Copies of this chain bind each other. A is one copy, B any other.
Amino acid sequence: MRRIVAFNRVSADGYFATADGNLGWVVPDQEIDKLGGEAVPGSDNMILFGRRTYDMFESFWPHVVGDSPTAPDPHAPGRQSPELRAMGVWINEATKVVFSRTRKGVTWKNSRLLHDEALKREPGRDIMIFGSGSIASQLTEHGLIDEYQFIAGPLLLGCGRSLLSGVPKTVKLNLLEAKPYPSGNVMLRYARAK
């Protein structure tokens, strides 16, 4: 069985997105970016997306490629760091599965719309899910997410959207790691308790 891992940037006050979905609040950290860049690229990597997060990622990541010097870098406008470019290779090569009732098609490389597939039963590496609150809530409710990775940033958003909603029962977790970074970000990594 493939594991499903949820990865999220969150604020200290527990929000994972502003009301308008911008990511300008993320506190940059090359050490954390490296974690993404060190992953082995390939289409065997799979990412699950809700439609809203997919829209946001589709408008950004196709422009982050090794040989595209003009694409936007949110961490340093005007140039792309090696860490961001490595992450770009990883995410562009990965298989992207989009849950959507409204989308008719997808244009980003290696993307497909989900109809009715038993993803966890396919062999392969961990399946990632970024943001995608509605999908993450449904998967959480059904006990399908194996690991939650939250990077808590040193800031208060003060309003915004929570990652999970409408999950009817509390889910117990085991803390795997609590690691502070010099930037003030803290990685909190949990496994779903069996």
Contact = CB atoms under 8 A, between A and B. Distances in A.
A144 interface: no
Nearest to A169: B158
Interface in A176-194: 178-180, 184-186, 188, 190, 193
Given A148-B12, A157-B170, A175-B184, A162 B164 contact: no
Interface string A148-163: 1010101111110011
Contact of A156 (B148, B152, B157): B148
A165 interface: yes
Nearest to A191: B154
Contact of A158 (B10, B168, B175): B168
A173 interface: yes
A120 B166 CA distance: 39
- Taking the full assembly, how many copies of this chain does it contain? 2
Contacts of A169: 158
A170 B180 CA distance: 21
A164 B180 CA distance: 23
A15 interface: yes
A171 B148 contact: no
A12 B154 CA distance: 16
A156 B178 contact: no
A30 B152 CA distance: 25
Given A14-B14, A152-B152, 13 more contacts: A12-B148, A12-B188, A13-B162, A14-B162, A15-B162, A140-B156, A156-B170, A158-B166, A159-B166, A159-B168, A174-B184, A178-B178, A178-B179
